[in-house]
A and B are shown apart, each in its own frame.
Chain A
Amino acid sequence: NAGVTQTPKFQVLKTGQSMTLQCAQDMNHNSMYWYRQDPGMGLRLIYYSASEGTTDKGEVPNGYNVSRLNKREFSLRLESAAPSQTSVYFCASRGTGSGNTIYFGEGSWLTVV
């Protein structure tokens, strides 16, 4: 059982380049999330998807787009990368109900130069 798998693990981009972070979960969870984590800032929600076919903005959505391709997969796209988007990105998934917790992928370290 792989849980939440995200790729790539490390990436260096030049300012203005685009890229997509991929995420897949095998726990049959309805909800999926993308967070970013910066030093001293904790986890901040970028986008989430409560179910297949729906996506909504989180706390810091600017500069990002997402696609919920199917129940398993939720991708995050940076259309024109900026140095401010240098961060660690975590994909996560969650089952239904208020008590179910979130399970995280291993993270993607992105540097924009």
Chain B
Amino acid sequence: QKEVEQNSGPLSVPEGAIASLNCTYSDRGSQSFFWYRQYSGKSPELIMFIYSNGDKEDGRFTAQLNKASQYVSLLIRDSQPSDSATYLCAVNSWVDSSYKLIFGSGTRLLVRP
């Protein structure tokens, strides 16, 4: 069973702070990793994806990947109340003869004004 683990939270940070969201995965063969944001009552929307070890930056968001340690993280700089949502980590794994995205259960982020 290939697994993706996230702390359910809530992670509470003050407005303007850096929010750090973490995810670990079990499949060493995974090649691509995704972060989705999901507002309450809405569908998940893609924020970032990362394939290579290291950091990838997009605006206020930075994804970090460490394949040796099997973790991927998402940093949100200058957090805003509008960033309050559940963040889902997803890992692309080869399962039953096809690639499938395995999702973590999500971390709820609360940004306090």
Contact = CB atoms under 8 A, between A and B. Distances in A.
B88 interface: yes
A104 B43 contact: yes
A103 to B, nearest CB: 7
Interface majority SS (helix, strand, loop, mixed), chain B: strand
Contacts of B104: 42
B101 interface: yes
Candidate in A43, A99, A107 with the most chain B CB atoms within 10 angstroms: A43
A43 B42 contact: no
Given A42-B104, A43-B103, A98-B99, A104 B44 contact: yes
A52 to B, nearest CB: 14
Size class of the contact patch on chain B: 20 to 34
Interface string A5-26: 0000000000000000000000
A37 B23 CA distance: 19
A54 to B, nearest CB: 10
A40 B43 CA distance: 15
Interface residues of A, number: 21
Contacts, number: 48
Nearest to B93: A98
The 10 closest A-B pairs by CB, nearest first: A42-B105, A104-B43, A43-B103, A99-B32, A98-B99, A50-B98, A107-B43, A42-B103, A106-B43, A102-B101
15 contacts: A41-B105, A42-B104, A42-B106, A43-B103, A48-B100, A50-B98, A58-B100, A98-B32, A99-B31, A99-B32, A99-B51, A101-B49, A104-B43, A104-B45, A107-B43
Interface of A: 31, 40-43, 45, 48, 50, 56, 58, 90, 94, 98-99, 101-107
